[in-house]
């Protein structure tokens, strides 16, 4: 195993990225296939729980997690729901074409696109593309006696993704209905098996409700109504937010220097009341999963960009009207002054009020890697991630480079890995 995983615990903020390169080979570890959980346990909260606190490691069972959280904690989870985004067509020649819907293009809003009644366009990955260079793919779909002909037309290509225009001839059918009937739940490729009927339930969190993800926020798979009841008994409050997980979460880092890796964009939505609650609970916020971490930390940089400046007459960017809100991949490492997290969240609240909004909508490409300074998150519940992944970089940043100690313990104590595997609670 690599021995230099502690090399990056110093802060890289305000330093040019080139001064201290981070190589992905330093975040590799042996993961035997038998340690990858191919199926979940019969009871979600029976999974093992590794607890990392003050550089020490203990283990328990997830059903006991409330006992390891401070009483004044605010637990924040991602309420996104996985859509059945994999569609299969067959050409007249018999060729099998797989279309994997990644994110909507027209309409660009998830709710509007899933609610479309005759057409929509999505960014997709296409399997067996060489057999579909031109022409329309079609299939007949029967949804409880409501029949339509569903078509797919290949538009333009950008990198390894493609714009696909979908049309159907029955306005009583929504695109969400088509995915629900004809789509397949896209379980992770590293499970090396086909989707089973049980995955439609087990690969969703018990609190999932906002459709849009093509992968589950898997740290949340361990929660049960009983766990939430135990949190309530301990007066641990909860909040929810939305980040739609893209297929990029499964993509390994293929560049030697992680500064050359391109992060995918993810859509986030956070209610105003949640931001107010976060503001009151700063210093005691526990994120459920890396998706919640990325959302919460992105809020800081969104708020920072909305800081009042002399050019706006002291009223801040919120006075400039509605604007696209985006966190770029390297925003955390650009040389700019820091502001308190409370101030950043207040800037967002002011922006929402100025534009008469109740929900913040934005997108983020944030890269959290060793050297990152956390502004909002104090604790994280997460599974055990793939070698050489951006998720492992995030974990390393969170535990000040000591990820190898945690993963060596998990491997030595029969923890199950990846999406259907066991869980950990990491405290700063």
pLDDT at 324: 81
Q: Which residue from 287, 285, 289 is spatially nearest to 342, judged by alpha carbons? A: 285
Q: List every span in the chain annotated with CATH 3.40.1780.10.
A: 17-81+202-427
Tokens of 388: 């050489």
* CA separation for the pair 258, 395 (Å, rounded): 15
Tokens of 199: 């995955």
Q: Which residue from 324, 332, 331, 330 is spatially nearest to 360, judged by alpha carbons? A: 324
343: left (phi over 0), alpha (psi -120 to 50) or beta: alpha
Helix runs in 203-332, H state only: 225-233, 272-281, 290-305
Residue 318 DSSP label: G
Helix runs in 183-289, H state only: 199-202, 225-233, 272-281
* Sheet hosting strand 266-271, strand order edge to edge: 56-61, 48-53, 423-427, 379-383, 285-288, 74-78, 237-244, 266-271, 359-364, 326-327
Interacting residues of 373 by C-beta distance below 8 A, sequence separation 6+: 11, 13, 332, 338
pLDDT at 336: 75
pLDDT at 55: 92
* pTM over the 0.85 mark: yes
pLDDT at 221: 98
Do strands 210-213 and 96-106 pair parallel, antiparallel, or not at all (unpaired)?
unpaired
* CA separation for the pair 306, 300 (Å, rounded): 10
Could you check whether the bond before residue 169 is cis, i.e. omega within 30 degrees of 0?
no
CATH 3.40.50.880 fits 17-81+202-427, yes or no: no
Q: Which residue from 245, 253, 268, 128 is spatially nearest to 187, judged by alpha carbons? A: 245
pLDDT in tens, the chain (428 residues): 333 333 323 333 333 344 579 999 999 999 999 999 999 999 999 999 999 999 999 999 999 999 999 989 999 999 999 999 999 999 988 899 999 999 999 999 999 999 999 999 999 999 999 999 888 999 999 999 999 999 999 999 988 899 999 999 999 999 999 999 999 999 998 999 999 999 999 999 999 999 999 999 999 999 999 999 999 999 999 999 999 998 777 677 889 999 999 898 899 999 999 999 999 999 999 999 999 999 999 999 999 999 887 655 454 554 455 678 999 999 999 877 899 999 999 999 999 999 999 999 999 999 999 999 999 999 999 999 999 999 999 999 999 999 999 999 999 999 999 999 999 999 98
Q: Give the tens place of pLDDT for each residue, 301-349.
A: 999 999 887 655 454 554 455 678 999 999 999 877 899 999 999 999 9
Do strands 86-90 and 96-106 pair parallel, antiparallel, or not at all (unpaired)?
antiparallel
Residue 417 DSSP label: B
* CA separation for the pair 93, 81 (Å, rounded): 35
Cβ-based neighbour number of residue 353 at 10 Å: 12
* CA separation for the pair 238, 95 (Å, rounded): 48
CA 125-126-131 angle, to 5 degrees, is: 165
């Amino acid at each position: 195993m690599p021995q230099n995983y502690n090399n990056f615990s110093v802060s890289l903020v305000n330093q040019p990225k080139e001064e201290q390169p981070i190589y992905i080979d330093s975040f590799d570890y042996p993961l035997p296939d038998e340690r990858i959980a191919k199926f979940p346990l019969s009871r979600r909260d029976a999974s093992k729980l590794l607890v990392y606190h003050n550089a020490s490691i203990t283990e328990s069972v997830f059903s006991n997690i409330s006992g390891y959280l401070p009483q004044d904690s605010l637990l924040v989870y991602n309420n996104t729901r996985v859509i059945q985004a994999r569609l299969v067509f067959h050409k007249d020649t018999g060729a099998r074409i797989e279309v994997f819907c990644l994110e909507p293009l027209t309409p660009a809003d998830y709710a509007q696109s899933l609610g479309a009644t005759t057409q929509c366009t999505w960014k997709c990955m296409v399997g067996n593309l060489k057999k579909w260079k031109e022409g329309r793919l079609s299939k007949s779909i029967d949804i409880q006696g409501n029949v339509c002909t569903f078509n797919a037309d290949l538009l333009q290509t950008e990198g390894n993704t493609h714009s696909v225009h979908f049309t159907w001839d029955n306005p009583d059918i929504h695109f969400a209905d088509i995915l629900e009937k004809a789509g397949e739940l896209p379980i992770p490729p590293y499970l090396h098996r086909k989707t089973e009927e049980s995955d439609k339930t087990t690969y969703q969190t018990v609190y999932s409700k906002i459709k849009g993800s093509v992968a589950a926020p898997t740290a949340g798979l361990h929660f049960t109504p009983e766990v939430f009841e135990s949190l309530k008994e301990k007066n641990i409050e909860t909040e929810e937010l939305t980040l739609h997980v893209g297929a990029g979460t499964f993509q390994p880092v293929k560049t030697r220097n992680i500064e050359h890796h391109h992060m995918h964009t993810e859509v986030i939505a956070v209610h105003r009341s949640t931001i107010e609650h976060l503001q009151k609970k700063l210093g005691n916020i526990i994120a459920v999963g890396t998706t919640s971490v990325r959302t919460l930390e992105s809020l800081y940089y969104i708020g920072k960009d909305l800081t009042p400046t002399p050019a706006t007459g002291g009223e801040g960017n919120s006075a400039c009207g509605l604007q696209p809100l985006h966190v770029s991949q390297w925003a955390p490492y650009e040389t700019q002054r820091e502001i308190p997290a409370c101030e950043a969240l207040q800037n967002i609240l002011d922006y929402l009020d100025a534009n008469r909004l109740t929900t913040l909508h934005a997108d983020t490409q944030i890269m959290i890697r060793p050297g990152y300074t956390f502004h909002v998150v104090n604790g994280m519940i997460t599974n055990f991630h793939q070698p050489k992944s951006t998720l492992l970089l995030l974990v390393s940043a969170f535990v000040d480079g000591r990820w190898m100690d945690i993963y060596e313990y998990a491997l030595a104590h029969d923890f199950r890995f990846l999406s259907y595997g066991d869980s950990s609670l990491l405290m700063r």
